[in-house]
Amino acid sequence: MIIFLVEACALSLMPDNLTKEQRSLCMSHIRSRWTSAEKKLHNFLKGSKIKHKMHPKISGSPDVILPKYKKAVFIQGCFWHKCPSCYKEPKSRKKYWLPKIERNIQRDRKNEKILKKNGWKIVKIWEHELKKNKNRLSDFFSKKLL
Ligand SMILES: [Zn+2]
């Protein structure tokens, strides 16, 4: 069940049919494991010999940093972070999801502000961009990051 939940989270599925306990388990696993998008980015950076740090313990908690380029990267799920091009409001359990998404967005804003203040450039990578560019991911990453 845990495996399933982690996958569901990573894919940004909306586990609407889960119990409250299952959902909070799902949420709690989001940060604790690498998502497939994070693995792809990591592989690209490693393959291109670009120094980076995954999940650095710095304020603003970006997903990845590229110290040489002073870039802080966020890989964002289109549902969880309300992607401007593909976010759709959930049809059920709005009272549960909407405040959660709103909190994510507030947190994103706060984190971006902190990072910018500390001299980082923010790079946001949306989940749908990875899907769209899946056959030329390294081109996409190079353009976006370097
Ligand atoms: Zn999107």
pLDDT at 29 over 60: no
More confident residue, 60 or 33: 60
76 Cα–ligand 1 center, Å: 8
Residues 14 and 74 in one domain: no
94 Cα–ligand 1 center, Å: 19
More confident residue, 12 or 40: 40
Residues 24 and 47 in one domain: no
Tokens of residue 102, six digits: 């709103």
Q: CB of 25 within 8 A of CB of 2? A: yes
pLDDT at 3 over 50: no
4 Cα–ligand 1 center, Å: 23
Angle at 126 between CA 12 and CA 37, to 5 degrees: 65
Looking at residue 67, what is its pLDDT?
A: 97
pLDDT band at 1, cuts 50/70/90?
very low
42 Cα–ligand 1 center, Å: 20
Provide mean pLDDT across the span 60-69.
97
129 Cα–ligand 1 center, Å: 7
Q: What is the pTM of this model?
A: 0.78
Q: Count structural domains, the chain.
A: 2
Residues 52 and 71 in one domain: yes
More confident residue, 96 or 15: 96
- Give the pairing type, strands 71-76 and 64-66: antiparallel
Looking at residue 34, what is its pLDDT?
A: 86
More confident residue, 3 or 105: 105
* Separation between Cα atoms, residue 25 and residue 6, nearest integer Å: 9
Residues 17 and 85 in one domain: no
Q: How many other CB atoms are found less than 10 A from the CB of residue 105? A: 13
Give me the sheet containing 64-66, strands edge to edge.
Answer: 53-54, 64-66, 71-76, 121-126
Nearest to 63 by CA among 129, 123, 5, 1: 123
125 Cα–ligand 1 center, Å: 9
Looking at residue 61, what is its pLDDT?
A: 95
Instruction: Please report, for residues 13, 41, 145, the alpha-carbon distance to residue 44 in angstroms, rounded to integers and kept in the order given.
Output: 25, 5, 11
Residues 24 and 44 in one domain: no
| Residue-range definition of the domain harbouring residue 7 | 1-33
18 Cα–ligand 1 center, Å: 24
Q: How many other CB atoms are found less than 10 A from the CB of residue 72? A: 27
Express each pLDDT in 83-135 by its tens digit.
Answer: 999 999 999 999 999 999 999 999 999 999 999 999 999 999 999 999 999 99
* Separation between Cα atoms, residue 104 and residue 107, nearest integer Å: 5
CATH number at residue 101: 3.40.960.10
37 Cα–ligand 1 center, Å: 13
Looking at residue 6, what is its pLDDT?
A: 46
pLDDT at 11 over 60: no
133 Cα–ligand 1 center, Å: 12
Residues 3 and 48 in one domain: no
Residues 136 and 89 in one domain: yes
50 Cα–ligand 1 center, Å: 26
